[in-house]
Amino acid sequence: MFELKYHTPIEWAEVAVADFDAFLQDHAAAEKKAASMAMTMLSHYQDRKNLVRAMTDLALEEMIHFKQVLKLMTRRDVMLANDEKDPYINEIRKMFRHTRAEKFLDRLLVAGVIEARGHERFSLIAKVLPEGKDKKFYDDIAKSEEKHKNLFVELALEYFEESEVYQRLEEILVAEAEICSKLPFRAALH
């Protein structure tokens, strides 16, 4: 449905996998935050029946992902870490406009872009991991993130004019590419 403007180099995945325990801790935190975001969306937009259904399903799926990451961590004897502020998320959230309708559109599209970035980066992790359970897990989770990216744009198209959705999506994609290009590589999803 859309493509990211910045393509993460494979070197990012090599840095992340070099400290895979820290990456798993960050990944677990990201899954919790994604579930929380879905619950917040359905709470703020209770009058949008399709959104409520979609966000309920998404929150459950993200918690399943959290449980799966926790299982990987347990196998490696890695504990959960304190949730850290994510510089990528902090920057991209600054793009939210302020009227109710604009903020709703921005929340949907930013969520779609974040899911697209997750798809890209989980795919890169799968590329650099050796054959085995972890590689398969990251292949599978990347596919899931791709579905989520499209879900948010489909919801935006349900509630807003197509031209408005794609114009704003383009603006967000350009800004998100600039944010990503400035972030240092670290053992974290973003």
CA gap 37, 55 in Å, rounded? 9
Domain that holds residue 64: 10-182
Is position 100 within any domain?
yes
Tell me the pTM.
0.95
Is position 187 within any domain?
no
From first to last of its 190 residues, what are the pLDDT tens digits of the chain?
Answer: 799 999 999 999 999 999 999 999 999 999 999 999 999 999 999 999 999 999 999 999 999 999 999 999 999 999 999 988 899 999 999 999 999 999 999 999 999 999 999 999 999 999 999 998 899 999 999 999 888 999 999 999 999 999 999 999 999 999 999 999 999 999 999 9
Into how many domains does the chain fold? 1
User: How far from chain centre, in Å, is Cα 8?
Assistant: 14
- For residue 43, give the CATH number of its domain: 1.20.1260.10
Is position 33 within any domain?
yes
Is position 134 within any domain?
yes
Residue 152 in contact with residue 108, Cβ under 8 Å? yes
**List of E strands, 56-101:** none
CA gap 19, 27 in Å, rounded? 12
CA gap 24, 45 in Å, rounded? 32
Comparing C-alpha atoms, which of 116, 110, 176, 108 is closest to residue 146?
Answer: 116
User: Dihedral sign, CA of 180, 68, 109, 43?
Assistant: negative
Q: Looking at residue 185, what DSSP letter applies?
A: P
Is position 84 within any domain?
yes
Is position 162 within any domain?
yes
Is position 189 within any domain?
no
Is position 167 within any domain?
yes
